[in-house]
Structure 1
Amino acid sequence: MEWGTELIRVLFGEEDTQSTLFYLEIALRTVVMYGYTLFLTRMVGQGGIGQIGPFEFVLVIAVGSAAGDPMFYPEVGLAQGILVITMVIILHRATGALVQRWRSVEDMIEGRPLQVLEKGRVLKDRLGSGTLTERELFALLRLEGVRDTGEVECAFFEPNGRLSVFRYPKEEQKPVRPTIPDDAATRFSHR
């Protein structure tokens, strides 16, 4: 096989994928998949993706996939992968500009903090949205050193999956509900 022909195949993929129309199709597919992935990420909820926001999660997934395909599949040319990565970065920057300009877009993409505790009481109706279970909430409270929900004036589950806890002053704390699991409660003194 001739080096020039092989180089063209590596850069642009198989012969049937070298048309301008195919590259426009790639751009359209990228826009659709970016939007759909962002939508699904928001549906998964705040805790489903860990410490990064949905916006960054989509970027990582999209760029990782676009970079990997030309590395493994000979029918996917480097130019096609470069186009997809470029489109994803352009979409990411455009979405970032929209988020900076309009708060409603930021709320739609990144989400809003969800109040999950008030005056030591778990707001169970807020947990039912599929975002956070009571067990996960108690685990996050324990990570913050909270032994009893009565220590907490209010707590918010943040879009990045972390918990913001606002405690009562020590003299205002009262026992409401221990956060320590039942099977471990006997080994720890509550107060």
Structure 2
Amino acid sequence: MKAFDLHRMAFDKVPPDFLWEVALRSLYTFVLVFLFLKITGRRGVRQMSLFEVLIILTLGSAAGDVAFYDDVPMLPVLIVFVTLGLLYRLVMWLMSKSEKLEDLLEGKPVVIVEGGQLAWEELNHANMTEFEFFMELRLNSVEQLGQVRLAIMETNGQISVYYYIDDEVKPGLCILPDKCIERFVRVPDEGEYACIRCSHVLTLSAGEQRLCPRCKHPQWTKASRAKRIT
């Protein structure tokens, strides 16, 4: 075998005319995936549950094989799409009849912020870091957690945020990037401070060094009372 053989790298063992067949196969699989998404009524991946993403990945594998390999017939791939489409409809019907099955396949919404405080244990169980979650909140114009009455991670990974009105905003953990937040183990002044890890807010005296009573973390930052600017 000759290294850097451009003909081998471009065509391998197939004739150049096979490129037209690849184009036809790609169009065929595109139409099948498009029809499947139209049938399920989904407009994007962000709207899909874990089960639906699994279905799409399986379809993608079948579509990729038939698009690029000349020895993969096209009709069996159609049967794969039809079978998975029927499976999807069956599972959706079963989930409408069984709440336990729905929870198993779709998962449950998870409350991440309640009353201006971070439910950090729930966040860890949801396999999401504080950095990712805070980024999502910042994209929703949240500067500090005391602005948030309730934040829920939906089963499709999106974050639903419910806010306090301005008069009810609480002191909370500032969620701006680290370079915008000053951290303390021994607080310099008397005032309200928020735990860096779990967002618990306490009034501390000047020079006080204290572990968070909620999560035992030693670092604090000054609690923010900033209101939302919309």
Q: How many residues align?
A: 142
- Once the two structures are superposed, the pairs formed by residues 55-134 of structure 1 within 5 Å of their partners are 55-134=51-130
Q: SS at 1:128's partner residue? A: helix
**CA distance, structure 2, for counterparts of residue 162 and residue 70 of structure 1:** 33
Q: SS at 1:135's partner residue? A: helix
Aligned residue type for 1:69: D
Specify the structure having the higher radius of gyration (Cα): 2
User: By percentage of residues, which structure has more helix?
Assistant: 1
TM-score normalised according to structure 1 size: 0.66
Map of 1:136 onto structure 2: 132
Cα-Cα RMSD: 2.3
Q: Aligned to 2:173, which of 164, 173, 177?
A: 177
CA displacement 1:141-174 (0-9 Å, x = unmatched) = 1111111101112211111111111222211112
5+ long unaligned stretches in structure 1: 1-9, 11-48
**CA distance, structure 1, for counterparts of residue 100 and residue 94 of structure 2:** 9
TM-score normalised according to structure 2 size: 0.56
Q: SS at 2:125's partner residue? A: coil
Map of 1:154 onto structure 2: 150
Contact 2:170 2:225 in 1 (8 A): no
Pairwise CA distance, 1:130: 4.8
**CA distance, structure 2, for counterparts of residue 86 and residue 180 of structure 1:** 48
Map of 2:198 onto structure 1: none
5+ long unaligned stretches in structure 2: 1-20, 22-44, 183-223
**CA distance, structure 1, for counterparts of residue 106 and residue 126 of structure 2:** 16
**After TM superposition, what 4+ stretches of structure 1 lie above 4 angstroms from structure 2?**
none
**CA distance, structure 1, for counterparts of residue 177 and residue 154 of structure 2:** 23
Distance 1:119 1:163, change over 3 A: same
Contact 1:59 1:88 in 2 (8 A): yes
Map of 2:48 onto structure 1: 52
Contact 1:67 1:85 in 2 (8 A): no
**CA distance, structure 1, for counterparts of residue 79 and residue 48 of structure 2:** 25
Contact 1:147 1:190 in 2 (8 A): no
Pairwise CA distance, 1:176: 1.2
CA displacement 1:24-44 (0-9 Å, x = unmatched) = xxxxxxxxxxxxxxxxxxxxx
Instruction: State, as a whole percentage, how many aligned pairs show the same letter.
Output: 33
Q: Which has the higher contact order (CA 8 A, sep 6+)?
A: 1
